[in-house]
Structures are given as C-alpha cells and as structure tokens.
C-alpha cells in the first residue's frame, strides 16, 4: 500500500537535497513531499523575515495539515531533526514513523548549540560575516565526502537564519506518542554513538550506513531507500 513520506532537509539546504532519494521512494509507489524551510533554497528570497525554529516547524506542520496527510513517515536530516521532533510534538496523531537521518534528537529546551556545543564558535564566526542574522554556509569540501557532489552542493547552499540554531525547542512530550522510530547514522560521522541510547527501545531501530559523509541521502540514496522501504516490508525497486 502507498505510504506518505515527508522529507525535511538540514541546515543551509532545501527540498533539493532529496533529489536523489525522493525518486527512489516514488518509484516504489509512495507519495513524497520535500518542503523547503522558509528562507532557504528556492525560498531564500524570504530570508529577510524573522525566521526561527518555530517558523520551520510551522512550515512542515502546515504542509501536513494543508495536504491533510495521515500516517506520515517523517524524516529529518541533520538540523531537520529539531524540526521533525517539533512537528511530531504538535501532530503526533498524524505521524506513523519518525526517522532521524544523521540528525540531532532534541529534548524540551534543547537548541542545536546545546546538542552540538562544538559548532557554536564556528557558527557565530559565520554569522559575523552574514550581518549576524544569517550563518553563511561552509564549503562542501569541509564535511561532505564525495567530491563529485561538491559543486552541486556549493551552488545551492544558502545562508541559514541564526535564530533557528539558537532558539530553544518547546516540547510537550507528545512526540513520544509516535509509535515507531528509526535512527540512521553515518559510520564514523557526527552522529556515530549519538543513537546508542535508543538501541534498547523496542519501538526503535538503529541502523548504520557505511561509506558516506553527513549527507547520507546524497552519498547513499539507494541504501537509505532500502532501509526506509524495509521498514514498510518492501524491497527497493
């Protein structure tokens, strides 16, 4: 039967980040939404607005509400883990599965900086060159493994509103009502070890992807599709 995927990109990126993965899920017969968060990607012309984490949670929650989506497989990459947790907290009854793809997993009151304090100084430096409101993107060569994608990534990455990384997420705990969770991490990457706490959870599954950088859906789209479809009891096309 057809599943509904909502794929939420990470920092500096956009719906375009899923260009390699989305077609594989669609080819398997599923509906796939790839909302771009306000101020990024093809919505970068809106970057002058006051944009924070709540804005991005609303972007995705409103996609689900306006499209009237149910039993959603909600996938967040990287910073997108903040967003999907916030969305699941608001719309738990519409989310069938929550997927963290090399993504941060916040608690109530977390910010990206409390979860990844090692980024604070670099992001603040990058914000300083962006008039303080925006964090400039880093070169793809700094953290993406496959050189053949560097030009593609560098051409599309846009500055990211700083408040998204600094705002504390407000969670009621309702996100815990989502019945199924999947944590996918890049071997040797920034989330390696971060999901160990969930290995004993019967409602969760923790899966490693080898030979990939942080952009797992770009470096290993076939493998990510295989893992997502396996969760539906389906083989990849």
Positions annotated as catalytic residues are 78
Other beta carbons within 10 angstroms of residue 182's beta carbon come to 21
> Do 98 and 90 touch, CB atoms closer than 8 A?
no
DSSP-derived 3-state class of residue 184? strand
CA geometry: angle at 36 spanning 116 and 43, to 5°?
A: 110
Q: Report how far residue 25's alpha carbon sits from residue 226's, in angstroms, rounded to the nearest whole number.
A: 9
DSSP-derived 3-state class of residue 191? coil
Q: Report how far residue 225's alpha carbon sits from residue 115's, in angstroms, rounded to the nearest whole number.
A: 27
> Do 176 and 216 touch, CB atoms closer than 8 A?
no
Other beta carbons within 10 angstroms of residue 148's beta carbon come to 6
Give backbone dihedrals phi and psi of 64, rounded to 5 degrees, phi first. -65, -45
């Amino acid at each position: 039967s057809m599943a509904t995927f909502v794929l939420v990109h990470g920092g500096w990126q956009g719906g375009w980040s899923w260009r390699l993965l989305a077609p594989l899920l669609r080819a398997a017969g599923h509906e796939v939404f790839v909302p771009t968060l306000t101020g990024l990607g093809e919505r970068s012309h809106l970057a002058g607005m006051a944009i924070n984490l709540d804005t991005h949670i609303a972007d995705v929650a409103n996609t689900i509400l306006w499209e009237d989506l149910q039993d959603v497989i909600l996938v967040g990459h990287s910073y997108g883990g903040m967003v999907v947790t916030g969305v699941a907290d608001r719309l738990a009854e519409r989310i069938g599965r929550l997927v963290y793809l090399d993504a941060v997993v916040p608690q109530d009151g977390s910010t990206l900086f409390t979860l990844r304090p090692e980024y604070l100084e670099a992001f603040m430096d990058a914000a300083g060159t962006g008039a303080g409101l925006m964090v400039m993107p880093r070169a793809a060569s700094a953290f993406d493994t496959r050189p053949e994608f560097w030009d593609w990534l560098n051409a599309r990455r846009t500055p990211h509103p700083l408040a998204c990384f600094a705002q504390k997420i407000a969670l009621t705990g309702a996100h815990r009502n989502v019945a199924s969770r999947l944590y996918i991490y890049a071997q040797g990457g920034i989330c390696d070890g971060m999901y160990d706490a969930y290995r004993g959870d019967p409602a969760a599954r923790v899966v490693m992807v080898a030979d990939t950088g942080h952009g797992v859906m770009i470096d290993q789209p076939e493998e990510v599709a295989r893992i997502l479809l396996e969760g539906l009891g389906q083989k990849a096309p």
